Chain A
C-alpha cells in the first residue's frame, strides 16, 4: 500500500531551526512536494524534489533520498508566522499526490 509517516506535532522556538521528517512508500515515484497550511486556510506550495539532494529556497530547504523513501523540510530563523501544518506529498506512478496528515508546527516566543 501507499503511506506517509510524519510526526503529528512539533514545537520550536522563534529564531531557531526545525527539521520535519517524512518517510513514504508509494507505487512508483515522480517527485515529492511540501506544502504549508495555516489553520483554516488552503495548502500553499513550498518545495518540490525529484532528485536526491537538497533544494534551498530562502529560509526553507527540502531534502530527498529516494533509496530510503525519506524527505525532510528544514526551516531556519523561525518566525511566529511559520506556525502551521506542513504536508508531505509524494507523487506516485499515476502522477497522483499521496497526502500525509501533516505535521503541526507550534512556534513559541
Chain B
C-alpha cells in the first residue's frame, strides 16, 4: 500500500534555481493538494486540483506552479527559488464520495532548503 508518494524527500537549492516536486497517489482519488508547513504555523494550501487537467490557487500560490496531467500525479514547480520558500512541502489526496467529506491522506513530505 503505497498511498501518497512524494519525491524527492530532501533537496537543497540555490536561490534562483528551479525544481519540480512530484506527488503520486495510487488510491484513485479525485482531489489532490500541495501544502507547505513552517515552524509554528498551520499547514498552508499552495494549490489544489479537483480532477485531471484542473488546478486552482490556494492561500499562498505566489512563486509556485502546478500541473495535473494524469489523475494520479500532481506536480509542484518552483520557477526561481527564494529563501522564503524553505519549508516542508506536503502533498495530500482525498476522494469524493457523495456529500460526505473525506479525510485527506498525506505523503511523507519534501524538506526543501533554499540557500
Known contacts A87-B42, A101-B41: A42-B106 contact under CB 8 Å: yes
Known contacts A99-B42, A99-B43, A100-B42: A43-B101 contact under CB 8 Å: no
> In the assembled complex, how far is the CB of residue A87 from the closest CB belonging to chain B, in whole angstroms?
7
B interface majority secondary structure: loop
Q: List 6 A-B contacts (CB under 8 A).
A: A30-B101, A42-B106, A43-B90, A50-B100, A87-B42, A99-B35
How many contacts A-B (CB < 8 Å)? 45
Report the interface size for chain A: residues with CB under 8 A from the other chain.
22
A4 CB within 8 Å of chain B: yes
Residue ranges of B at the interface with A (Cβ–Cβ < 8 Å): 35, 40-45, 48, 58, 90, 100-101, 103-109
> In the assembled complex, how far is the CB of residue B94 from the closest CB belonging to chain A, in whole angstroms?
9
Residue ranges of A at the interface with B (Cβ–Cβ < 8 Å): 4, 30-31, 33, 41-45, 48, 50, 87, 89, 91, 95-102
Known contacts A42-B108, A42-B109: A102-B103 contact under CB 8 Å: no
Known contacts A4-B42, A43-B43: A33-B109 contact under CB 8 Å: no
Identity of the chain B residue whose Cβ is nearest the Cβ of A46 in the assembled complex: B103
A-B CB proximity, top 10 nearest: A99-B42, A42-B106, A45-B103, A99-B43, A31-B101, A101-B42, A100-B42, A43-B106, A42-B108, A30-B101
